[in-house]
C-alpha cells in the first residue's frame, strides 16, 4: 500500500503521478474515483501500460468508457477507507508530525489487515 500525506486543502489527483511512480511492479489496472478523471492522470496510467478504471466526471464533454467489472472493486477500496475512518486519531489527523501520522496510518492498515 502506498500513500502520500498532503494538506487538507490540496486535491488528491495532484499526487497521482507520484503514487504511480511508487508502483514498481506492473499492475493490471489503476482503479480510481471521478476525482482522478483528468487527461494527465490517464496519460500517466497509459505510460505504465496499465488500464485505467476511472469513471468520467459529469462535466466531461465526451465520456470515456471504463470496465464496469473492475469498477466494482472500487467499492472495496471505499469500504477500507471507511473502516480506517473509525479510528478517531486518523479522522482528526491527531499527529503532531507527518512522520507520526504516517506511522499511525500504517499501524491502522496492519491492524485492519490482521483483523480480516
Report residue 71's pLDDT band, with 50, 70 and 90 as the boundaries.
Answer: low
Q: What is the pLDDT of residues 38-68, one digit of tens each?
A: 888 888 888 876 778 888 888 888 888 877 7
Q: Rounded distance, CA 104 to CA 63, Å?
A: 39
Q: Which domain holds residue 35?
A: 1-67
84, pLDDT greater than 70: yes
Reply yes or no on whether the pLDDT at 102 is more than 80: yes
Q: Total domain count for the chain?
A: 2
Q: Residues with Cβ < 8 Å from 5, sequence gap 6 or more? A: 98, 101, 102, 105
**109 falls in which pLDDT band (50, 70, 90)?**
confident
Examine the pLDDT at 26 and tell me if it is beyond 70: no
The pLDDT assigned to 14 comes to: 87
Q: Does residue 101 share a domain with residue 60?
A: no
Do 45 and 81 lie in a common domain? no
Q: Are 31 and 53 in contact (CB under 8 A)?
A: yes
> Are residues 77 and 63 located together in one domain of the fold?
no
In angstroms, the CA 20 to CA 44 distance is 8
Asked if pLDDT for residue 30 goes beyond 70, the answer is: yes
- Asked if 62 and 110 sit in the same domain, the reply is no
Lowest mean pLDDT among 14-18, 42-46, 52-56, 73-77: 73-77
Name the helix (H) or strand (E) containing 114.
Answer: helix 98-115
Domain co-membership, 6 together with 38: yes
Please tell me the predicted confidence (pLDDT) of residue 24. 67
Amino acid at each position: 500500500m502506498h500513500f502520500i500525506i498532503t494538506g487538507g486543502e490540496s486535491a488528491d489527483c495532484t499526487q497521482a503521478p507520484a503514487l504511480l511512480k511508487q508502483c514498481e511492479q506492473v499492475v493490471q489496472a489503476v482503479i480510481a474515483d471521478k476525482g482522478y478523471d483528468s487527461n494527465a492522470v490517464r496519460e500517466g496510467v497509459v505510460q505504465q501500460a496499465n488500464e485505467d478504471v476511472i469513471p468520467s466526471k459529469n462535466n466531461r464533454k465526451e465520456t470515456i468508457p471504463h470496465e464496469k467489472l473492475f469498477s466494482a472493486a472500487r467499492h472495496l477500496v471505499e469500504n477500507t477507507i471507511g473502516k480506517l475512518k473509525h479510528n478517531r486519531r486518523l479522522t482528526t489527523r491527531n499527529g503532531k508530525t507527518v512522520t507520526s501520522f504516517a506511522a499511525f496510518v500504517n499501524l491502522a492498515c496492519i491492524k485492519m489487515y490482521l483483523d480480516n
